[in-house]
């Protein structure tokens, strides 16, 4: 085992296999923890506020915004600052 910290710093490509396990499965089966009220809900049970600008998924308990998804000509954006974590 190396004691050199720089040996542990790799680029993001090395995490691809782990990230595919997180993002490829059915997202509606994942659990999400609200950063505001700390409750845990199934993503499929969240309230959706749909608009032409995109989709906002809200906490079922406190109605805080957990996830915002927008499809733009420059790419698909996902913002999750209202969520503490996702569990798959
Ligand atoms: Zn909440």
Distance 73 CA to ligand 1 centre (A): 31
pLDDT tens digits, one per residue of 72-81: 999 999 999 9
15 burial level (CB within 10 Å; 0-12, 13-18, 19+): exposed
- For residue 20 the two structure tokens come to 């595919």
Distance (Å) from CA 60 to ligand 1 centroid: 7
What is the tens place of the pLDDT at every residue in 47-61?
999 888 899 999 999
- Using a CB cutoff of 5 Å, list residues around ligand 1, an ion: 34, 36-37, 59, 61-62, 64
**Using one digit for the tens of pLDDT, what is the confidence trace for 22-39?**
877 888 889 999 999 999
> So what's the pLDDT on residue 1?
52
In angstroms, the CA 69 to CA 38 distance is 21
Ligand 1 centroid distance, CA of 26 (Å): 22
How close is the Cα of 65 to the center of ligand 1, in Å? 8
Helix locations, 1-88, DSSP H: 16-23
Contact 35, 84 (CB under 8 A): yes
Where residue 3 falls among pLDDT bands split at 50, 70, 90?
A: low
């Amino acid at each position: 085992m190396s004691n050199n910290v720089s040996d542990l710093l790799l680029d993001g490509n090395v995490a691809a296999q782990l990230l595919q396990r997180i993002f490829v499965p059915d997202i509606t089966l994942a659990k999400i923890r609200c950063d505001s009220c700390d409750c845990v809900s199934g993503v499929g049970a969240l309230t959706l506020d749909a608009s032409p600008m995109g989709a906002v998924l809200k906490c079922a308990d406190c109605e805080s915004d957990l996830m915002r998804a927008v499809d733009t000509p420059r790419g698909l954006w996902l913002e999750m600052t209202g969520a503490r974590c996702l569990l798959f």
